Structure 1
Amino acid sequence: METGGTSTFILLQWIYITLLSVIKAQEVKVWPEVTGYLGHDVTLHCEFIQGPQVANITQVQWALLQPNGKENVIIVYNTILGPSIHKPYVEEKVGIEGLSLIIKDVNMTDAGLYRCSISAFPSGAFEGTTKLIVKEQMPLSVGVIAAVVIIVMLMLLIIAATTYLIFIKRCDSSVNLIHTDTNGPVTDVARPSVIKTEQDVVYSEVTTKPSRGETASSRYKHSKTEDITYSEVIFLRQQQ
């Protein structure tokens, strides 16, 4: 009899240790805090962490905790019976996806503590609590911020290009055309910072230099001082 009692005790102890290790390994994992925004949908995540022994989930329940500790059951999902939404909630307001609760068109009254309860066989019941915080305005996402930065950079690039073109145009407008007429071919020269001036200039007391073979009589004829008029003389003045 003692041997039988000892064997039974050892067997129970082994079962207890085995179940304890399984129960400790299995748990419900939820986010401690979730932020929702007015007019948007929010998902309260719930996950069942399996242990060494796989347990079958039979039912999932979501409830809103009241300040007095009571639970307002929102939705129950049974693997056999399917989902059941409790009043005053409706299908257009709440739903379940996997083990997570979806709240649609969030408003300020949706804020509070939510509890996810899971029944699993043969492990038993597990639960986790998450807090929903509701805010009015949704912050800008990383994609939106990146798009704004790219737009600003493009605008700065366009402004810089426009400024450069205006600067080049002004530089081109400061280049004047020089025209020199020496009774020969016309030469056009583009030179910056040059002012074209066309006027008639009268030179007085100009003495001509005698050329080779010129006789004394002809030299005497030109020895007199006379006025010579030159036309189309171009003055070049460097612009200050």
Structure 2
Amino acid sequence: MARHDARNWHDCSKMIGLLCLVASILLQHGASGQRVKVEPEVLSYLGQTVNLRCAFSDPTGIQLTMVTWIYEPKEGERINIAVFHPSFDPSYPQSPVTGRVSFTPSPPNLASPSIEISNVGMTDEGKYICEYATYPSGNEQGITYLVMLAKPQNSASIVAAVAGNKPVVVARCESVDGRPAAKISWVTTANGNATTVAKLGTDNTETMISEYRMVPTPADNGKDLSCVVAHRTQVKPESFHLKLAVQYAPQVTIVGYDNNWYVGRTNVALTCQASGNPTPTTIQWKTMSGEMPDTVQITDNVLKVLKVDDSVNTTFVCEVKNRIGVGKDQVTVMVREPSVNPSNAGVVAGAVIGSLLALLLVSALIAVLVTRSRRQQQGYRANGGSDMKTRIFGVGKKASKNGTGGGTGSGVGGGNNNGPMYVYNESSSTQGLGEKNNHHQPLTIGGRPEVVATTPTAQDILLSNELDDAERRKFDELEEEERYDHYTGGAPILQLRPPHDQNDIIGDYLDDDMESQRDGSVISRTAVYV
């Protein structure tokens, strides 16, 4: 057990020692690499002069012997372009930049051996290495990337396409002589796709060509299409807004027929609507029969019928042409019988509405009259009037008691209690009696003026006959005190007479008017006792 633990501890110690060694090597390499200071990337345009800076940051304890600039192209081998030793003059070996490269400042020094390259070209792009020879550390270096830029010339255009069934190029976008290569994209609602190719341009530049392809349809004509070019030399992407141009034969539609052309109708028209690219050049109206009716007038794309007759019962054809092709549409007219005159229809409608209104008015009037008649049948309560008074039933038994009554019912105060109805004026009892009823004459009985019916009226007869026999017998058997209760010596009964004695209303009125009391008497529901 102890041996096993000792072995594990020995293995761990070895691993830790190895890790520490690797870490120290990496730290030394990182420290030495960081002492050569250069710019990671330098941008330049065609024909400019670039400055590639280099310096040794901390030469303490180190002896700087020599510095060398090395060029490494993207494709090719490394080559020395400039060498400096303090004991010798600067040296510029044969290279692609010979005659255009030099140390700066001049004369150079090991602490800051920068160089400059004039009239740079696209082929000068690549990796530039500043390498120091030191003692005792050996060689140390820093790397700078020279990036050559060329601002491209961008453009976009529409390619006219004819509507069909195969994909064709409808737009083209180009970015010419750029470095690095531009990126092209498309923005549109049209259903298509783009293909982009790169071509080598002058002086190691690149030209990008992008084409947008689709199956063009008439509906795509005029749709928006944008080409967007992004490049490193541009602050923001450049956008080109285009509109698709799809050529197609005319599409024709005839409007104006409402399927209600009747004989005698005037000023109806058909309009030929056409769209096409390019714009249609000719519009022609025809009929399937070959002959145009005499009542037809044609003005450009409008066919007007002055008056519809049987000759218009045909098929009209509108034919439109442009450079791409011909388009047509047709409509068949069915001539109908004359329709109802709108004015007569208005009169009929007005008559119907008027009849309904009149019927409603008559119904309302009948309802008012029926309501009023029912109220009159039930009688009116006393309204405070004192000039007119009505008494129902004659002096009957009272006259008999005074010795003037008879049993025949034909004299004064006969036994018929359902005698005539008398009306008199309270202010002038003798005069008003004659004025109210010409059939009754004043008569003095017992020192008081009485009224005697000389000739009974039709109303009196109706009132007398309509009373129920049972009620009449019951009324005759009652004593005067019981009939009139405590109004024996009072004034006449005030009762409003029905407005007009009609055949069945009066009898029903009187029958319904009388009401039996607990003491056996019968009184009127509507009479007002004064």
> Which protein has the bigger strand share?
1
C-alpha spacing 1:179/1:134, structure 2 compared with 1 (3 Å): closer
| One-letter code aligned to 1:113 | T
| One-letter code aligned to 1:238 | D
**Match of residue 333, structure 2, among 132, 141, 144:** 132
Aligned counterpart, 1:199? 394
TM-score, scaled to structure 1: 0.51
Aligned counterpart, 1:111? 313
Aligned counterpart, 2:272? 46
TM-score, scaled to structure 2: 0.26
| SS of corresponding position for 1:134 | coil
2:368 aligned with 1:168, yes or no?
yes
Distance 1:139 1:119 in 2: 42
The aligned runs of 1:1-240 (5 Å cut-off) are 17-18=161-162, 20=164, 21=217, 22=246, 24=248, 26-30=250-254, 34-41=259-266, 42-48=268-274, 50-51=275-276, 53-55=277-279, 57-66=280-289, 71-72=290-291, 74=292, 89=294, 93-96=295-298, 99-120=301-322, 122-138=323-339, 152-173=352-373, 175=376, 185-186=386-387, 197=392, 199-203=394-398, 232=492, 237-238=511-512
| One-letter code aligned to 1:18 | V
Larger Rg belongs to: 2
Q: How far off is 1:118 after superposition?
A: 1.9
Q: Is the 8 A contact 1:199 1:234 kept in 2?
A: no
Q: Is the 8 A contact 1:35 1:134 kept in 2?
A: yes
| One-letter code aligned to 2:335 | V
Q: How far off is 1:125 after superposition?
A: 2.9
Q: How far off is 1:151 after superposition?
A: 5.9
Distance 1:145 1:26 in 2: 44
Distance 2:392 2:380 in 1: 9
Q: Is the 8 A contact 1:36 1:133 kept in 2?
A: yes
Distance 1:239 1:99 in 2: 89
| One-letter code aligned to 1:61 | Q
Distance 2:357 2:386 in 1: 47
Gaps of 5+ in 1: 1-13, 75-87, 190-195, 207-226
| SS of corresponding position for 2:316 | strand
Gaps of 5+ in 2: 1-158, 165-216, 218-245, 403-479, 482-487, 496-509, 515-530
Aligned counterpart, 2:22? none
- Identity level (%): 19
Q: How far off is 1:58 after superposition?
A: 3.2
| One-letter code aligned to 2:252 | V
Distance 2:287 2:332 in 1: 10
Q: How far off is 1:116 after superposition?
A: 0.9
Q: Is the 8 A contact 2:259 2:334 kept in 1?
A: yes
C-alpha spacing 1:97/1:166, structure 2 compared with 1 (3 Å): farther
Q: How far off is 1:131 after superposition?
A: 0.4
C-alpha spacing 1:160/1:95, structure 2 compared with 1 (3 Å): same
Distance 2:348 2:247 in 1: 51
**Deviations 1:139-182 (Å, cap 9, x if unpaired)?**
688x99899667634532331122211231243245166698xx
| SS of corresponding position for 2:285 | strand
Aligned counterpart, 1:212? none
Higher RCO, 1 vs 2 (CA within 8 Å, ≥6 residues apart):
1
C-alpha spacing 1:36/1:27, structure 2 compared with 1 (3 Å): same
Alignment RMSD:
4.6
Q: Is the 8 A contact 1:45 1:99 kept in 2?
A: yes
Distance 1:124 1:238 in 2: 100
| SS of corresponding position for 2:335 | strand
Aligned counterpart, 1:85? none
Q: Is the 8 A contact 2:248 2:278 kept in 1?
A: no
Q: How far off is 1:44 after superposition?
A: 2.6
Distance 2:359 2:315 in 1: 53
